[in-house]
Amino acid sequence: MHKFISSDIEKGPLEIENLEVQSYEMNVYLVQLTIDGNTGLVFSDKDQPMRFYSAGHIREFFAHCEVANSFMTHDTPYDEMIGNPPKAKHSMALPFSMDLPY
């Protein structure tokens, strides 16, 4: 899997084929990109997956990029703990707008 470094993304506009927002817990999001057929997570300069803390944070970070397709997936580790049925093999993808509200 490819690593996209946040400082490289900030340097200039990119053409992003897919931007997947992965929602794990309250206000913690990771972003997976596909650029030129390479897919991978966005990493901080400290070589750790970059955490985003709101939808606005994601939109602002990628505002200078051209995003062809964006969506959000949600995964929770708590389903089994609270008696919910087993998860589906594929998580559901919801549309995610990259438009800034201001």
Q: How far is CA 55 from CA 23, 27, 43, 64, in A?
A: 10, 9, 17, 16
Q: Confirm whether 100 is domain-assigned.
A: no
pLDDT in tens, the chain (102 residues): 899 999 999 998 999 999 999 998 778 999 999 999 999 999 999 999 999 999 999 999 999 999 999 999 987 666 666 666 666 656 678 899 999 876
Q: Confirm whether 101 is domain-assigned.
A: no
- The whole-chain average pLDDT of the chain stands at 89
Please report the pLDDT score of residue 78 as a whole number. Answer: 61
Q: Confirm whether 59 is domain-assigned.
A: yes
Q: Confirm whether 29 is domain-assigned.
A: yes
Per the structure, the count of domains in the chain is 1
Q: Confirm whether 102 is domain-assigned.
A: no
C-alpha–C-alpha distance, residues 21 and 63, integer Å: 15
Please report the pLDDT score of residue 1 as a whole number. Answer: 85
Q: Confirm whether 36 is domain-assigned.
A: yes
Q: Which domain holds residue 26?
A: 2-95
